[in-house]
Structure 1
Amino acid sequence: MAAKVSVLVPVDVDSKVLKSSTAVETYADYVAGKVYKKGDRCVSPTKNRIFESLQDNNSGHDPAITDNLTGNTPWWMDYAPTNRMAMFDTDVSTATVAPSPLTVVLQPGFFRDLYLNLDADEVDLVVRDSPGGSVIRATHEVLEGSQPGDYDEYFFGRFEPRYDFIAQDIEPYNAAEITLTLTSASGTVSCAVMDVGDLIALGDTLVGAKVTPKTYSYVDQDKFGGAKIVRRGAANDLAITGILDRSESPMVHRTLMKVLDTPVLVTASTGVDYSPLRNFGLVSGGIEYPNIPDKCNLNINVQGLIRWQ
């Protein structure tokens, strides 16, 4: 079977979909009668966001009301997602952090695939056909990424953590329930991204896919010629070419339009040897209609937003 260019179209996860989480919040819920000082922070339960007070004597100004966030003298600033919801927002720089184990329960409805970007030792995934119903998928995985090439490397090579997890081809049910548990011997786990949805095949992957590691570090050079490397994060960019039946081009175009400006998972292959050819980021590209009967060319570029291990 040919490798497929695929994109994970996610389901929106809000407080109605997230049924429970063992992650705790750093800040208390907003209280209408409380007087907040400049710099104080609180949680808006209706928005699932943390807000920071921009003024002293801030009382009776609900941060969930847009008018209190705007104008010449706004009362509040949108600071960050809540700890519970950080793993479900589109900002990869925010993460849900919790003592091990972290357990979350979701009821997303129809879905077939799941992707995590996380820092943990082990993942336990249980999917049921309904809340408390029959188990349709149970997976336990140790997040160890090394692939020793010989016995010396097997016994003496360093442990290589893996920071991604993908579960595919889960049987879809309208009332599906997901229970995810992350554990770590260090005592703390974090999850920056949890995407649940459908991994949609756009076309067959052609030879020549390219992954390009990039760094946001830079050299800070002073007026005396001294140089210092300022360490920053890293990511990968991905370029994939593919081919598809011309009859599929409207569906592929609609899928690409759905994920514009939304960070998503893109894969060029599910093979273990081709794990670098998957990425989470912003998608661009297009469909070409060449002088080939019944076929179209597909060009996909992914601006990577997180470091893929």
Structure 2
Amino acid sequence: MNILLPKTITSSMFGAGTNIPVVDTAVGEQAWVSGTNYVLKDRRVDGDYTYECVQPVSSAPQNTYAPSDVRSAGFWLKDEGAPTNRMAPFDKYLFTKARRAGNVTYVLNPGFVTGVAIYGIEGDKISLSAKAGPGGADLITPIVNRDLWQPAFGEWEYLFGDLQRGTYFTLKDLPIHPNLELTITVTRNNPTVEAAIGFISVGNWKRLLAPMSQQGGVLYGVEASTQDYSYQDDTPRKDGTYVEVQGRLATDINLSCLIDAAQAPAAKLLLDQILGKAVAMEVSELPKYSHLATVGKITGTVRSDTWPAASVGLQIKGNV
């Protein structure tokens, strides 16, 4: 059982090779400019998010207060579902995606981390390298460079079925280095087709292991349930017909782990550290358990069952 304790990504951690600009005019983003007046519904980028003008800004000094300034309350509204194209993979949602034709590349300098999780991928290939600082030596060899096609479930699917692309990738046991430079690239075979990444988390992987073992301690009976937030709107209709309103999709997971009793305090501390945060988790690295992975908020209980063993019950509410 693996849970990624995330590190907050800030603008200072981006390297020069990142190919999505701070304000991406290619997707229609416009930066807020001090001293400019704005009308209702104008949308401008300030910091990591897009803000919408909800009350006209027509004079000084109001037009000198950035949308994120507390003095702009009532004039600008932060759109929680619209981070900038560059910062989209670093919010709490998977549906907010960084998009770019051909490929999406991030170069990150996060300091001490042991792993990375990438979800909401739309692409044909993924590559990942870790260097000892810009231009430094490779810390992992060979460099990750793989297709994103998922393996077929059987011969018929392989020959005639609709093979699916993988949507997530995780990497563990990165070498510890203070100047780690991590380069992540998702690429399309056709350079005119849009590539996208929905969620990137870097940090330290935490493992819940079975007693006296280096194997995952998750017990059989893990449950993954799909969540569809679509709904039907029949309010304007009187004839039984309705409009299907497309909603977001998510995966919830419920499981139990058996761990060494001595690890119970560390397990409780981990739950405290990730409480209220969107984190990446996976039950196992084995392909047959690849469906038991998601990004979401984790709550749980730690119970001391016997002298040598304890149990951890986890509920993961998947993020959209």
**TM-score (structure 2 length as normaliser):** 0.86
- Residue of structure 1 equivalent to 2:222: 209
- Residue of structure 2 equivalent to 1:298: 312
**Structure 2 CA distance for aligned equivalents of residues 29 and 81 of structure 1:** 13
Over 3 Å counting, the alpha-carbon distance change for 1:253 and 1:65 in structure 2 is: same
Residue 135 of structure 1 aligns to a residue whose secondary structure is coil
**Structure 2 CA distance for aligned equivalents of residues 145 and 200 of structure 1:** 26
Q: Are 1:23 and 2:20 matched, yes or no?
A: yes
How many residue pairs get aligned? The number is 294
Which residue of 35, 38, 43 corresponds with 1:36? 38
**Structure 1 CA distance for aligned equivalents of residues 52 and 92 of structure 2:** 20
Residue 19 of structure 1 aligns to a residue whose secondary structure is coil
Partners of 1:39 and 1:53 within 8 A in 2: yes
Alpha-carbon shift at residue 249 of structure 1 (Å):
1.2
**Structure 2 CA distance for aligned equivalents of residues 155 and 89 of structure 1:** 39
Alpha-carbon shift at residue 214 of structure 1 (Å):
2.5
Partners of 1:61 and 1:75 within 8 A in 2: no
Percent identity at matched positions?
Answer: 24
Q: Are 1:121 and 2:124 matched, yes or no?
A: yes
- Residue of structure 2 equivalent to 1:164: 168
**Structure 1 CA distance for aligned equivalents of residues 129 and 304 of structure 2:** 43
Residue 205 of structure 1 aligns to a residue whose secondary structure is coil
Richer in strand (by share) = 1
Over 3 Å counting, the alpha-carbon distance change for 1:53 and 1:171 in structure 2 is: same
- Residue of structure 1 equivalent to 2:152: 147
Residue 227 of structure 2 aligns to a residue whose secondary structure is strand
Partners of 1:51 and 1:77 within 8 A in 2: yes
- Residue of structure 1 equivalent to 2:262: 247
Matched AA of 1:178: L
Matches within 5 A, 1:1-309: 5-20=1-16, 21-24=18-21, 25=24, 26-44=28-46, 47-56=47-56, 57=58, 59-69=63-73, 74-79=74-79, 80-117=82-119, 118-137=121-140, 138-150=143-155, 152-184=156-188, 185=190, 187-203=193-209, 204-220=217-233, 223-226=238-241, 229-290=244-305, 292-306=306-320
* CA displacement, residues 40-82 of structure 1 (integer Å, 9 cap, x when unaligned): 22222xx32222222222622222322212xxxx221112321
Matched AA of 1:165: F
**Structure 2 CA distance for aligned equivalents of residues 240 and 256 of structure 1:** 14
**Structure 1 CA distance for aligned equivalents of residues 183 and 250 of structure 2:** 29
Alpha-carbon shift at residue 22 of structure 1 (Å):
1.3
Partners of 2:258 and 2:309 within 8 A in 1: yes
Matched AA of 1:10: P
- Tell me the C-alpha RMSD between the 2 structures: 1.9
* CA displacement, residues 130-181 of structure 1 (integer Å, 9 cap, x when unaligned): 221111221012111242422x432222231221111122212111001111
Matched AA of 1:260: L
- Residue of structure 1 equivalent to 2:213: none
Alpha-carbon shift at residue 9 of structure 1 (Å):
0.7
Alpha-carbon shift at residue 223 of structure 1 (Å):
4.2
Partners of 2:157 and 2:163 within 8 A in 1: no
Matched AA of 2:145: H
Partners of 2:281 and 2:293 within 8 A in 1: yes
Residue 283 of structure 1 aligns to a residue whose secondary structure is strand
Partners of 2:264 and 2:304 within 8 A in 1: no
Matched AA of 1:132: G
Alpha-carbon shift at residue 234 of structure 1 (Å):
2.4
**Structure 1 CA distance for aligned equivalents of residues 238 and 187 of structure 2:** 48
**Structure 1 CA distance for aligned equivalents of residues 53 and 168 of structure 2:** 36
Structure 1 residue ranges without an equivalent (≥5): none
Alpha-carbon shift at residue 103 of structure 1 (Å):
1.5
**Structure 2 CA distance for aligned equivalents of residues 6 and 255 of structure 1:** 11
Matched AA of 2:85: N
Alpha-carbon shift at residue 270 of structure 1 (Å):
1.0
* CA displacement, residues 78-127 of structure 1 (integer Å, 9 cap, x when unaligned): 12321111111123331111122221110001111111112111111111
**TM-score (structure 1 length as normaliser):** 0.88
Matched AA of 2:277: T
Alpha-carbon shift at residue 226 of structure 1 (Å):
3.7
Partners of 1:114 and 1:168 within 8 A in 2: yes
